[in-house]
Structure formats: C-alpha cells, structure tokens
Amino acid sequence: MGQRNAAACFLVVGLLSGCASNFTNTVKSRAPEQGLTEISASYRWGFTTISTQAFIPGKDTHRGTLLKRSCRRSGITVELEISAPVAASTQSQLCEMTLSAAEFTRQRMPAVRLDYKIVAVPAGTRLDKRWSSLSPPEKKVLTLAIPMFQDQAKTFSVLVDTVAHETFHVAGFLNRIPDAADETKAYYFGICANFDINKSLTVWDLPGAPLGNREAGEVAGKSSRAGYAVRLQVAKFMLDGRIDLGAPGAQMLNEKCRSALTRR
C-alpha cells in the first residue's frame, strides 16, 4: 500500500454483505431486514474519500429527513438524520449508542479522527443510496444507514454492530493495518461491541446464511461465509437462542472477544 495514494473496498453488514460496485439484484432480494452496507475508502495527496452504499429493504418510499440531531464526546461528532418522528430521549440514545460503539473500536485500534453521519429510516422503508465524502486529514466522515424497529433493542443492536464493524475497517485502512479488510475480525468487532454495550445478544443479532460466489460475487460470498462461521461459533455460547450478562455463555463470549480482537 503506497504512502500517499491508496484505495480499498470493505464489505459490510447485515446478515449478508458484499464489496463490489453495487449490490447485485440477487443480494438485494435476499437482504435481511437489518440492511446491507458497503464501504470503500481511498486517500490521495492528503485527502481521504470514504464512500458508503446502503441498502435497506422495504415497500415504503423514503421521503427524506424529518429530524436532525448532533452530539459530541471524546472528540467524536455524530450527526443524526432521522426520517420519522421519534422522542427526544430516543434521539439521545441513538447518539450515545453511536459514540459508545465508536469508542469501543477505537480503544482497540490506533487512534484516528473519524466522525459519523447516521441516517435512520423506519423499518420497512426502502433505501438504496450512496454517499461520498472528500475530507482533509483532520476531519473524516463515515456515513451509515440503519432501520428503526418498533423494538428499540433491535434498532440499537443494528446501530452498534454496524458502527463497530465499519469503524474497524475504515480506521484500519487509514492506519495502514494489514488486516483492515479481515471480515472475521470485523464481524467480531460488531458482535462484541453489541454485547459490551447492550448487555445481551440473540440469534437475531448474528450474521446469517452464506452466499455462493456465483450469486453474490467472490468478495461478497467470501464475506458472507466469514460471517456465518462467526455465527456458528458465537451460537455455541447461547442458551435458548440468547446470551445475557451474567449467564455462563457471557464469560465464554467475553473470552472469545478478547482473543479475536487482540492485535497480533
């Protein structure tokens, strides 16, 4: 990777994921309700471009931003764009969850200045959109999109998982870490942050079935298989499809997280 010019494509999340110019129709047709995210990043002559392709399945039409909210902590700024009326307390929780997920990952990665824009749409609203930001070294912005469920626990789970997963990829790339594109580690960052912050984990929170290369493409297929392998490992720690703080599986999951997230 060159010192001044470099590019990378990361994949991301939901139960399926892929890294390509666009999600294929097959991948979209099998997209989970949590949605899909694809990140690409490059830097040239001191400027960084971070691009996000987001797909959230649904029948309703995305009608734009209704509410905006911002928050800041530990040098991290979060801008929320919400497409539905939600209580001020929920807006605050979305901000706090984003900050906590970012901090979880940064505590385990070399420092990098990264701010966030979170686009939140009601679950069932179709969103198929791409964002790009060209930033100087002192201000880089990562845009992510999430669905908001009636069950707030699901919303917070998707938010924390996605922020931690993608922060690992982008921060790793910006710090020239060789394993920045490691999907297994990225999935563990998302799952471990989710459990650390939300104090519980269910089967719903885990990556799902793998995709073949023919239907999804080589990179997306490889990523989905990595996610499925992580699912099988974490599911072993669950009792009746979940892990709660203080349960026997919690200690085993925490040990796995320490092992998986340790930089070698």
pLDDT at residue 174 in the model: 87
In this structure, are strands 141-148 and 124-135 parallel, antiparallel, or unpaired?
unpaired
For the chain, how many structural domains are there in total?
A: 1
Determine the pLDDT at residue 20: 40
**For residue 236, what are the domain limits?**
5-261
CA-based diameter of the chain, in Å? 53
Q: Which of 191, 220, 187 is nearest to 205 (CA)?
A: 191
The candidate with the shortest Cα–Cα distance to 144, out of 126, 122, 165, is: 165
Which residues of the chain have a pLDDT value below 50?
Answer: 1-5, 11-21
Look at residue 234 in the predicted model and tell me its pLDDT: 97
C-beta separation of 171 from 110 below 8 A: yes
In angstroms, the CA 123 to CA 147 distance is 5
Q: Encoding tokens for residue 117?
A: 């824009």
Distance CA 169, CA 167 (A): 5
pLDDT at res. 2: 36
